[in-house]
């Protein structure tokens, strides 16, 4: 079982930051749009607190920061237009698909319901992605990673590219040891593992795949699960394994030994890592440059 229930692995930090910024900044803008309705946001002993009151406090505390964000957004889009750079709907869809996969169990409807509960239109989220994709395109347009710096990065971070030892396993998760023992009995009597997983497993992230978790390295699953999965023989099945999630019946499907890789095998990945490493600084430098060169009049 993964350290994040129902998911395997951790989402990229840049995507997480992007989503948080989108929800916070866009939420504030959404407040302005729906201000004319001015509904109550809370009721205290029968007395309503209106949305306009909440917005006034937010504006007093954070108005300058939100305005600066909108100014930066406009500068980025203007610079992209000047350079003839565009962002397609397909590119935005691809980024949203990543967020949906990492945060919403692969179901876009869950994202839409989340946004709806916050009063945030999907168009605002799409615009946020458009700006961020545009910014990345601008700063990477002339960015070249030399062979020398790529090889240096590889030598300094070799462990990030080496292939770790991995196993592929499937499991059935239930609440009690008695249930796990009953499932083991059914398996010993010839019932299909995948069929029982789809029917009985509590792990919603893997049950539809017959309990198959795919390949995973050490350090990704909870300790008790990992130790069992790595110590089993290929084709072997465990006794009930207790973790914080419940009781697991684990079957090991494949095992891959870890190995060191050569630079040539992963050159493209290394160059991509070097680029990702440079992006935050390059983005901030561009934003600072655009603000310095722009004519900005604050009217309030």
For the chain, which residues make up each domain, given as ranges? 13-142, 162-256
Residue 1 is predicted with a pLDDT of 58
234, 236, 240, 243: CA torsion to nearest 10: 0
- Give the three-class secondary structure for 51: helix
Residue 230 is predicted with a pLDDT of 97
Residue 12 is predicted with a pLDDT of 40
Residue 279 is predicted with a pLDDT of 95
Residue 233 is predicted with a pLDDT of 97
From the list 7, 3, 4, the residue with the least C-alpha distance to 213 is 7
Residue 32 is predicted with a pLDDT of 47
Residue 10 is predicted with a pLDDT of 30
Q: pTM for this structure?
A: 0.63
Among the CATH numbers 3.30.1490, 1.10.287, 1.10.4030, 1.10.10, which is that of 13-142?
1.10.4030
Residue 6 is predicted with a pLDDT of 38
123: exposed, middle or buried (C-beta count within 10 Å: 0-12, 13-18, 19+)? Answer: exposed
Is 173 within 8 Å of 245 (Cβ atoms)?
yes
Residue 103 is predicted with a pLDDT of 84
- The low-confidence residues of the chain, meaning pLDDT below 70, are 1-37, 300
Is 197 within 8 Å of 208 (Cβ atoms)?
no
Among the CATH numbers 3.10.50.40, 3.10.20.600, 3.40.50.1970, 1.10.1200.10, which is that of 162-256?
3.10.50.40
Is 249 within 8 Å of 172 (Cβ atoms)?
yes
Residue 298 is predicted with a pLDDT of 79
Residue 59 is predicted with a pLDDT of 74
């Amino acid at each position: 079982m993964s350290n994040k229930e129902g998911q395997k692995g951790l989402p990229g930090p840049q995507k997480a930051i992007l989503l948080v910024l989108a929800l916070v900044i866009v939420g504030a803008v959404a407040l302005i749009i729906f201000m004319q309705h001015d509904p109550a946001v809370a009721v205290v002993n029968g007395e309503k607190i209106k949305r306009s009151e909440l917005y006034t406090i937010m504006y007093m505390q954070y108005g300058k920061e939100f305005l600066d964000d909108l100014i930066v957004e406009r500068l980025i889009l203007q610079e992209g237009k000047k350079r003839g750079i565009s962002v397609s709907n397909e590119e935005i869809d691809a980024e949203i698909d990543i967020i949906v996969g990492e945060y919403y169990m692969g179901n876009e409807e869950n994202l839409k319901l989340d946004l709806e509960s916050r009063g945030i239109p999907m168009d605002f989220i799409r615009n946020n992605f458009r700006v961020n994709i545009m910014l990345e395109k601008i700063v990477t347009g002339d960015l070249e990673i030399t062979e020398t710096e790529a090889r240096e990065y590889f030598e300094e971070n070799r462990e990030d590219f080496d292939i770790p030892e991995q196993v592929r396993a499937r499991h059935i998760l239930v609440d009690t040891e008695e249930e796990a023992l009953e499932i083991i009995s059914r398996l010993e009597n010839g019932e299909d593992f995948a069929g029982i997983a789809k029917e009985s497993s509590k792990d919603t992230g893997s049950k539809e795949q017959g309990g198959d978790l795919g390949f995973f390295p050490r350090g990704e699953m909870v300790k008790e699960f990992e130790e069992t999965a790595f110590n089993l023989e290929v084709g072997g099945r465990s006794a009930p394994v207790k973790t914080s999630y419940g009781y697991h019946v684990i079957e090991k499907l494949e095992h891959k030994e870890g190995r060191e890789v050569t630079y040539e095998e992963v050159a493209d990945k290394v160059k991509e890592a070097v680029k990702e490493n440079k992006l935050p600084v390059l983005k901030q430098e561009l934003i600072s440059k655009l603000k310095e060169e722009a004519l900005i009049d604050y009217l309030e």
